[in-house]
Amino acid sequence: MHLRDVGEFGLIARLRALTHREDARVLVGIGDDAAVVAGANTLVMTTDALVEGVHFRRDWSQMEGIGYRALAASLSDLAAMGASPAYVMVTLMVPHSETVEGLEELYRGMMQLADLFAVRVVGGDVVATSGPLTISIAATGELLGMRPLLRSGVRPGDWIFVTGDLGGSGAFVHYLASGKACVLTPEDALTLRLRHERPQPQVRAARVLATLTDDARRGTGCTGLNDISDGLASELHELAQASDVRLLIHAERVPTAPAVRHYARAAGVDPLDFALYGGEDFQLVGAVDPAQAGRLLAQMEGAGVRVTIIGEAEEGDVGVDMRKGRQRVALHKGGYDHFGQAPTDHGRTGGNGI
């Protein structure tokens, strides 16, 4: 169905119906000049934009997956501050060639994730553009603990951990970009597709980390936290820089899924490269006081979150090293600069939130 058949107000009515949920916290939802929602003592806010051709490709992902992933990027940013998501506003910049069904599919994917966390879509905007389809999401959440979990408190001696496994999204993008040149088993192909299209923002992990840190002596607990949107290497550099420490990572400890290793072997690539530079895994990387590491591992297991200690913080120049076998090498930052190069169709969400 063409947009001109339903018009702006018809489209808005459809999206409003798709997103409406009964919720006493939402005093005024979509339909007036602004939304009115129940507040909180401390608010956490983030925004992310995704541009077709820069952050996603329609021939690589279904609209549902694009919507899911767009929201996941925002919820992941909130988790990385130790916050749970509450309200989102979704702005669409829409080319005239778009169909109503396509946009509804996008919203359906988004609502699959929103409903998992009782996140409410309370507003947004829909405007026409002569450019590519663009999705801009603003998300507001509440601190899970008494303090936000910043990037800047890592001390020498702290251990570095990651949640989940890494490299799945990057491996899937590599697989698509190669024109599916390698043969994958259906199970591996599905695993990689899900890592890319249905990333899980680590809200449960954030809750464990916030509680642990509230209970710990100030300056201990989780001393630094970042979500992995630009690849592990880039996020580690951000932690090191914000905390003014050197980090040492052990290559063999970086967790990757079997499907990533299978694909890497078939493609003749080091699976570690997908973890370090692939990005978009939306897992968390952080630092913990070694005295609290046992409790962290136990509580994460209780919450159903896999956690791996991959290295430690050290005295020394700001930066990141990696030990691989007997070698210790400086880990380059990698990552994506939106203006340092021409935009590439690499399927990566993000752009570092300012």
- Site for a second copy, residues 116 to 145, rule: CB under 8 A: 122-132, 134, 136, 138, 140-143
Residue with smaller CB distance to a second copy, 178 or 352: 352
Which lies closer to a second copy via its Cβ, residue 175 or residue 282? Answer: 282
Q: Which residue, among 250, 259, 261, 260, has the nearest Cα to 308 in the 3D structure?
A: 250
- Asked if 62 and 197 touch (Cβ cutoff 8 Å), the reply is yes
Spatial CB neighbours of 239, under 8 Å, sequence gap ≥ 6:
151, 154, 160, 224, 226, 247, 285, 286, 287
Long-range contact pairs involving 266-269 (C-beta distance under 8 Å, separation at least 24): 266/182, 266/183, 266/184, 267/174, 267/175, 267/178, 267/181, 267/182, 269/174
- Of 40-59, which residues contact a second copy (CB under 8 A)? 40-51, 53-55
Q: Does 339 bind a second copy (CB under 8 A)?
A: yes
Q: Are the C-beta atoms of 143 and 94 separated by less than 8 Å?
A: no
Tell me: does residue 268 bind a second copy (CB under 8 A). no
What single-letter DSSP state applies at residue 10?
H
Question: Binding to a second copy by residue 282, rule CB under 8 A?
Answer: no
> Closest distance between a second copy and the C-beta of residue 128, in Å?
4
Task: Give me the least distance between CB of 297 and a second copy, in Å please.
Answer: 23
Which segment (39-47, 158-166, 210-218, 319-327) binds a second copy by CB under 8 A?
39-47
- Cα of 230 vs its chain's centroid, Å: 9
Q: Which of residues 166-225 bind a second copy (CB under 8 A)?
A: none
Nearest approach, Cβ of residue 255 and a second copy (Å): 21
Q: Which is nearer to a second copy, 111 or 272 (CB)?
A: 111
Nearer to a second copy, 232 or 248 (CB): 232
Nearest CB to a second copy, comparing residues 103 and 260: 103
Q: Which of 1, 12, 194, 269 binds a second copy (CB under 8 A)?
A: 12
CB half-sphere exposure, 30, CA atoms < 13 A: 25
> In 220-231, which positions are buried (b, 16+ CB within 10 angstroms) versus exposed (e)?
bbbbbbbbbbbb
Site for a second copy in 224-263 (CB under 8 A): 226-227, 242
CB 150, CB 189: distance < 8 Å: no
Stretch that binds a second copy, among 37-45, 170-178, 182-190, 314-322 (CB under 8 A): 37-45
352 binds a second copy (CB under 8 A): yes
Residue from 17, 28, 118, 329 touching a second copy (CB under 8 A): that is 28
Residue closer to a second copy by CB (options 274, 282) is: 282
Q: Using an 8 Å Cβ cutoff, are 107 and 66 in contact?
A: no
Total residues at the site for a second copy (CB under 8 A)?
84
Residue 142 CA: distances (Å) to CA of 118, 228, 229, 344: 13, 21, 21, 35
Dihedral sign for Cα 175, 75, 319, 159, please. negative
For residue 137, the SS3 value is: strand
We find the least distance from the C-beta atom of residue 221 to a second copy, in angstroms, to be 17
* Rounded Cα gap, residues 95 and 1, in angstroms: 14
When the beta carbons of 12 and 194 are compared against a second copy, the nearer one is: 12
CB of 324 to a second copy, least distance (A): 28
Of residues 96 and 328, the one with the C-beta less far from a second copy: 96
Residue 25 is classified by DSSP as: T
What would the x/- binding string for a second copy be over residues 71 to 90, using CB under 8 A?
------xx-xx-x---x-x-
